[in-house]
Amino acid sequence: MAQIIKGNDKIHKKASLKNMNNLLGYIWKKKFMYSLLVLPLLYYIIFEYIPIYGILIAFQDYVPGRSFIGSEWIWFKNFQLVFSSKPFIEALRNTILISFYKIIFGFPFPIIIAFLLNEVRSSTFKRSIQTAIYFPNFVSWVIVGAIIVSIFSVNDGLLNQILKQMGIAPVNIMVNPKYFRTLLVVSSMWKEAGMQSIIYLAAIAVVDVQVYEAAIIDGANRWQQTRYVTLPGIASTIAILFILRLGSILSAGMEQTLVLLNPMVASVGENIDTYVYKVGLGQGDYSFSTAVGLFKSLVGYILIIGSNWFSKKVSGESVF
Amino acid sequence: MRKKTGLFNQINYILLFLFGLSALYPFIYILTISLLPLDEYLRGGPFLFPKNISFEAYAHILRNGNIFMSFKSSLIITVLGTFTNLFLTILCAYAMSKTKLKGYKIFINLIIFTMYFKGGLIPSYMLIRSLKLIDSYWAIILSGGISTYYMLVMRSFFINIPESLEEAAIIDGATEPYVLFKIILPISLPVIATVGLFYAVGHWNSYFTPLIYLNSRKKWPLQVILREILFESTESMRTAGETTELQKSAIGPQLKMATVIISVLPITMIYPFLQKHFVKGVLIGAVKA
């Protein structure tokens, strides 16, 4: 009995050595492909995974200058501090509200644009409108911010100039807490909806022509065709994009907010990203702001996994 | 029935026209202001159609020349950055298009995970600092080395290239490097151009990353300098609550608007090329989804 086992051991050992040799041989044979991966993987390891490892400082009382694990471990104390911090709660509330509005208004808008564009007969008109609405996407938020100031500024913005001529009192939008969130939502729609409509246009274009023909034979008019053919046809695209959009619900806009934010609207405009920037790089409280960042990444991740699972259950559509 | 569709069409055209107009008009307005003579702004009133056109604002800026240093910075970052991006992205996308490669599943999952879970601002900053890259252009270039999204788009494209193409070449005796450089890349020029353009525009427009990683003013790229020029006197206006004539002309609106126009010019010039490619690029990305 023992001898047989010994024999098996030897075979087992020989087999795994052979596997090892096979593996090495395979790697050597495919060395070109693997060598292509070396630099990209190096990028991911250094610039994506090391910072993930650096999240550890959220659990410590980090002292600047030390390594990622060189400071005293205080575990969840930072998180207690975070959740009892009024500015954080404010930033969290702002983030959720602004993101919520951006999704409610900003998600359907490109879809509607795509539908409208699709109904246009004249291709010249269609192409010129497209050229116009894609453009704002390629301009930076700094520039868009300057445009917003030139139009909405209280003293000499275009809007108030026109109102003054008409004898109406000037409106305050940029430094007014009541309208600031609206400004954020509308300006991001203005900038991004054009480009976002492209995906929906593409999705509309691949809906099977035969289904349209069948519907027309059944007597459907254009509105009915849209409702019963196009909409279901692009439903999976909409679902996938919606799942992805939900995953970034805690990102209310970094550059946009940084450009437009001012002391008078900070209470309604400060979001998690700008808050992390302010506390982390501005005030130098590294572990606190990393804890906030970890919270944000975790929630975002759970949301994506969650909405993906939910969508799979309900409709069979999923991103992964 | 015909009447209904006619009305719908008209409303459709009007709505789309309004949206298109709203996308472009702000830029026209900015252009208008920038072409005003330097002393006209103080007279107030809506500035919709310029009566006197003057290039004084532009002359002033061109003579001053400070802004061109930031142009140079932006150019360096954009060129170096896009090259690095494309280099890394192409390598990664092509290797990851070989789905039968051993270890493929591990690699692709590791990569995609980073799309949804990040280390955060502070750990990234700390990393750059410990790599001694603070105040170097490389901090910006390397920290954004690969956009996983663009990499996946390119990978989709590579996957859709018929295998028979490569197989035929290998039968004819081509080596793997030859297949990549002399066969795959030339065919993939549209995707590479599209992704490259998107990377480039991203670099040109980026404000936050240079802001946190670059300390020397002379290295500040365009958007950072712009922010300073365009917003600093407005800040003081807000805290004061009122504008005096002096403050109004401190950095005159014409100058500011002319600066905006000059900054938008490069994007406007390559926009036709962008348009040609990015619709294709987004289509490929959509197919992936």
- Whose CA is closest to B129, among A59, A283, A286, A297? A286
pLDDT of residue A5 exceeding 60: no
Asked whether residue B151 carries a pLDDT value surpassing 80, the answer given is yes
pLDDT at residue number B246: 40
Query: Would you place residue A7 in the very low, low, confident or very high pLDDT band (cuts 50, 70, 90)?
Result: low
Q: Smallest Cβ distance to B207: which of A40, A47, A141?
A: A141
* The predicted structure's pLDDT at residue B250: 47
Domains of chain A as residue ranges with CATH: 2-54 (no CATH), 77-139+192-315 (1.10.3720.10)
User: In chain A, which residues have their Cβ closer than 8 Å to the Cβ of B46?
Assistant: 158, 161-162, 165
- Mean pLDDT, chain A, rounded, equals 89
Query: Is 90 exceeded by the pLDDT of residue B203?
Result: yes
Is the confidence at residue B272, as pLDDT, over 90? no
pLDDT on residue B237 = 38
The shortest CB-CB distance from B243 to any of A143, A155, A255 is to A155
Q: Which residue of B has its CA nearest to A257?
A: B208
Instruction: Please report the pLDDT score of residue B238 as a whole number.
Output: 40
pTM beyond 0.90, yes or no: no
Decide if pLDDT at B13 tops 80. yes
**Considering CB atoms only, which of B20, B175, B208 is closest to A258?**
B208
Report the pLDDT value the prediction gives residue B245, as an integer from 0 to 100: 39
**Domain ranges in chain B?**
66-288
Question: What percent of chain A is predicted at pLDDT more than 70?
Answer: 95
**pLDDT tens column, A287-299:** 999 999 999 999 9
Mean pLDDT score, B133-144: 95
Per-residue pLDDT, B136: 95
Q: Which chain A residues contact residue B11 at CB under 8 A?
A: none
pLDDT at A240: 86
Best of A19, A53, A143, A289 to disrupt the B interface by mutation (most B CBs within 10 Å)? Answer: A143
Which residue did the predictor score with more confidence, A111 or B61?
A111
Task: Show residues of chain A in contact with B145, CB under 8 Å.
Answer: 43, 47
User: In percent, how much of chain B has pLDDT > 90?
Assistant: 57
Mean pLDDT: which of A76-80, A222-226, B209-213, B251-255 is highest? B209-213
Cβ pair A119:B12 closer than 8 A: yes
Whether residue A39 is predicted with pLDDT greater than 90 in this model: the reply is: yes
pLDDT at B256 over 80: yes
Listing DSSP states for chain A in one string gives -HHHHHHHHHHHHHHHHHHHHHHHHHHHHTHHHHHHHHHHHHHIIIIIIHHHHHGGGGGEE--TTS-TT-SEE-TTHHHHHHHT-HHHHHHHHHHHHHHHHHHHHHTHHHHHHHHHHHT---HHHHHHHHHHHHGGGGS-HHHHHHHHHHHH-TTT-HHHHHHHHTTPPPP--TT-HHHHHHHHHHHHHHHHHHHHHHHHHHHHHTS-HHHHHHHHHTT--HHHHIIIIIHHHHHHHHHHHHHHHHHTTT---SHHHHHH--GGGHHHH--HHHHHHIIIIIT--HHHHHHHHHHHHHHHHHHHHHHHHHHHHHHS----
Q: Is the pLDDT of residue B46 over 70?
A: no
Question: How far B97 CA sits from the closest chain A CA (Å)?
Answer: 10
How much is the pLDDT for B47?
Answer: 63
Minimum CA–CA partner of B242 in chain A: A155
| Interface contacts (A, B; CB < 8 Å) | 269
Whether A313 has its CB under 8 Å from any CB of chain B: the answer is no
* Stretch 74-93 of chain A: residues touching chain B, C-beta under 8 Å: none
pLDDT of residue A312: 84
Give the burial class of A171: count Cβ atoms within 10 A of its Cβ; 0-12 exposed, 13-18 middle, 19 or more buried. Answer: middle
Residue with tokens 């800040």: B235
Residue of A nearest to B225 (CA): A142
Interface of A with B in 91-130 (CB under 8 A): 113, 116-117, 119-121, 125, 128-129
What would the mean pLDDT of A25-44 be, rounded to a whole number? 93
Residues A88-104 have a mean pLDDT of 96
**CA of B44 vs chain A CAs: smallest distance (Å):** 8
Chain B nearest C-alpha distance from A164 (Å): 8
Which of A73-87, A265-279, B52-66, B86-100 has the weakest average pLDDT? Answer: B52-66
Confidence of residue B253 (pLDDT cuts 50, 70, 90): confident
List of chain B residues whose C-beta atoms are within 8 Å of the C-beta of residue A138: 201, 205, 267, 271, 274
Could you give the C-alpha distances from A93 to A64, A69, A136, A239, A306, in angstroms and in order? 30, 32, 29, 26, 21
Q: How far is CA B281 from the centre of its chain?
A: 15
pLDDT band (50, 70, 90) for residue A152: very high
23-42 in A: which are within 8 Å (CB) of B? 23, 26-27, 30, 32-34, 36-37, 39-41
Distance (Å) from the alpha carbon of B51 to chain A's nearest alpha carbon: 17
Rounded to an integer, the average pLDDT of B11-33 is 93
Q: B223-244 pLDDT, tens per residue?
A: 999 998 888 654 443 433 334 4
Top-confidence range, A218-227, A245-254, A272-281, B62-71: A272-281
Residue A8's pLDDT is what?
Answer: 60
Domain B66-288: CATH class, spelled out: mainly alpha
- Chain A closest CA to B178's CA: distance in Å? 11
**What pLDDT sits at residue A206?**
85
Residues of chain B with Cβ-Cβ distance to A116 below 8 Å are: 12, 15-16
- pLDDT confidence of residue B287: 59
Q: How far B198 CA sits from the closest chain A CA (Å)?
A: 9
